Structure 1
Amino acid sequence: MPDDGYSLREVQRMLGVSRSVVEKLIAAGFVSPRGDRQDWRFTFQDIVMLRTAQALRVAGVSPLKIVRALDHLRKSWGHEGSLTGVRIAAVGDRVAVRDEANRQWDAETGQLLLDFDPKRALGNVASIEAPRAERAREEAVELFRQARAVEDDDLDAAEAAYRKALERAPDFTNASLNLGGILVDSERFDDAIAVYRDALHYQSNDPVLLFNIGVALEDSGRFREALRSYELCIEHASDFADAHFNAARIHEELGEPTKAIRHFNAYRLLQRNQ
């Protein structure tokens, strides 16, 4: 991570959401970035918390309950680098945590929850992994920071560091997204797609990963495959405006104007509502 933190643009890239969505999550109290509104700077922990909050909102949990639950988890496991291991879920209108022993805990109260099948959220919150796994996770976070710090100047070193981070924590989605971005920029599309699809094993149907697979397929000229990936993204996140826009362009390119208009209209509506 850069010494002064991540910019809003970098946060949007990692989360796959618009500026207005990030601003709403900040206004709801999920994170408090440093700096003024024109130059917010976010920590890695901020990104994890924002991703988690957005996932829970999509799952239908109220903002107040999300704030309370994440605040409780932050106080319990809030040291930097430890907020990326434990699965969280929306259980009705509550937030639950699943630990290594497959026990379910109410994130607000710490109460043990029994006999339910939670709808998993898109992100993770806290780590209560075994010490060896925890060390691997912390090493992965440090490698991620190193990669991010050199990405603008040395892509080979950044790629190597992202790959090492994923060796230590294969479910580290942000490392997969950044590594895939480097591979796409260097026109190694199949390699990028492989990285994104590996990440889907840990974040099944993650719309940001599906969107990025679509971009890599589109850039490599596989328009029908790209279109399917954008459609999958929209199935799991109907408000993903850029997926609608890209799907509209491909339908237009393929001579399917009716379908293109439908996606363009959805894109314009989402833009107006931001």
Structure 2
Amino acid sequence: MHRYHRADVLRILHISAKQLIGWEKAGLLASSEMYSFFDLLQVKKVRDLRAQKVRPTAIRESLQAMQKQVAGLENPLLEASAITVRGRVAFRHEGMSMDPIGGQYMMEFAPVGQLVSANVRRMYSAQTASEFFARGVALEEDPNSQDEAIAAYMKVLEIEPNHAAAHINLGTVYYNRGEFDDAEMHYRKAVEIDSRYALAYFDLGNVLDETGRLDEAVRAYRTAIILAPTYADAHYNLALAFEKLKMPRKALKHWRTYTKLDANGPWAIHARKQIARTLENDRLKVVYRSQ
């Protein structure tokens, strides 16, 4: 089985070392230097839940409750489809969503948050959608198997049409292949499904930036930051977009924020150089005006 180094995980999932360490300290992930593709999938699910502003404590408590409620379920993030309901983690099974802490099902046709008592021990382990999703994650990093990855994610959407993460991953595969129209379509679908999905807005911003629609990209990045103010990469890309728009003063704020959020990351050096350059240019303008 292919193994991923810690640096590979950061690159593939577009997360910072600080984020990964924080999730480990919160007890959401085991600390490791090498990861299997199942580990990669677990990190990805934690990332997606945090992007939806679910608190680490809520994630941890839901996972622990799920393991107690369902006999034989070792890893709920891999063996069940996680969703968010009012800041908590629920798990979907056979057309129903379950709150593991309360041990109750939430009917799919009922208003959000309406609970229906049920014996959750009837629930068994892996779901087909989750299995196809895991397959897609395993396949998408190899250029030779990306068509298979697309097929796997499409199968997820056949089973769960509102699976936002599958749309995100499909968009990323298409983006990496330079098929920006398809990438944008899936990113927009993810936003439509979950309007509070910061990662979806971030990825949408990337494809808008790539296709020269900088004003729209700025709006997408700003939305991602509103939803997740500590989203370091969103600040970085927004700063880049402002630089392209010849708005260095607006970029400056986000360069500074990025260096605070990810002071030791690989792009922090570039961000600091941009800060210094902007401040130096401002100083020279002041000197010029005073002459």
TM-score (norm 2): 0.68
Q: Residue 231 in 1 paired to residue 222 in 2?
A: yes
Q: Residue 50 in 1 paired to residue 12 in 2?
A: no
Structure 2 equivalent of residue 254 of structure 1: 245
Using a 3 Å threshold, how does the CA distance of structure 1 residues 173 and 18 change in structure 2: closer, same or farther?
A: farther
Q: 1:68 aligns with which of 61, 72, 79?
A: 61
> Counterpart amino acid of 2:69?
S
> Counterpart amino acid of 1:215?
N
Give, in whole Å, the separation in 1 of the partners of 2:3 and 2:60. Answer: 23
**CA deviation map 1:77-103 (0-9, x unaligned):** 435653215544437xxx777999999
Aligned ranges for residues 72-221 of structure 1 at < 5 Å? 72-77=65-70, 78=73, 81-90=78-87, 105=99, 107-108=100-101, 110=103, 136-138=128-130, 140-141=132-133, 143-144=135-136, 147-148=139-140, 151-221=142-212
Using a 3 Å threshold, how does the CA distance of structure 1 residues 188 and 140 change in structure 2: closer, same or farther?
A: same
Using a 3 Å threshold, how does the CA distance of structure 1 residues 201 and 10 change in structure 2: closer, same or farther?
A: farther
Moved more, 206-215 or 158-167: 158-167
Give, in whole Å, the separation in 2 of the partners of 1:76 and 1:130. Answer: 9
- 8 Å contact kept, 1:25–1:31: yes
- 8 Å contact kept, 1:207–1:236: yes
Give, in whole Å, the separation in 2 of the partners of 1:25 and 1:224. Answer: 33
Which ranges in structure 1 are unaligned for 5 or more consecutive residues? Answer: 119-126
Using a 3 Å threshold, how does the CA distance of structure 1 residues 112 and 167 change in structure 2: closer, same or farther?
A: closer
Moved more, 45-54 or 68-77: 45-54
SS at match of 1:43: helix
> Counterpart amino acid of 2:33?
Q
TM-score (norm 1): 0.71
> Counterpart amino acid of 2:251?
A
Give, in whole Å, the separation in 1 of the partners of 2:165 and 2:224. Answer: 17
Using a 3 Å threshold, how does the CA distance of structure 1 residues 227 and 142 change in structure 2: closer, same or farther?
A: closer
Using a 3 Å threshold, how does the CA distance of structure 1 residues 25 and 168 change in structure 2: closer, same or farther?
A: same
- 8 Å contact kept, 1:196–1:213: yes
> Counterpart amino acid of 1:248?
A
Using a 3 Å threshold, how does the CA distance of structure 1 residues 128 and 135 change in structure 2: closer, same or farther?
A: farther
Q: 1:252: Cα distance to partner?
A: 1.6
Give, in whole Å, the separation in 1 of the partners of 2:69 and 2:24. Answer: 21
Q: Residue 268 in 1 paired to residue 291 in 2?
A: no
Using a 3 Å threshold, how does the CA distance of structure 1 residues 27 and 40 change in structure 2: closer, same or farther?
A: farther
> Counterpart amino acid of 2:214?
F
Q: Residue 26 in 1 paired to residue 24 in 2?
A: yes
Structure 2 equivalent of residue 38 of structure 1: 33
Count matched residues: 249
Give, in whole Å, the separation in 1 of the partners of 2:7 and 2:122. Answer: 31
Higher CA-based Rg: 2
Q: Percent identity?
A: 27
Using a 3 Å threshold, how does the CA distance of structure 1 residues 245 and 157 change in structure 2: closer, same or farther?
A: same
Give, in whole Å, the separation in 2 of the partners of 1:128 and 1:171. Answer: 26
Give, in whole Å, the separation in 1 of the partners of 2:4 and 2:123. Answer: 29
Using a 3 Å threshold, how does the CA distance of structure 1 residues 237 and 13 change in structure 2: closer, same or farther?
A: farther
Q: 1:20: Cα distance to partner?
A: 1.6
> Counterpart amino acid of 1:140?
F
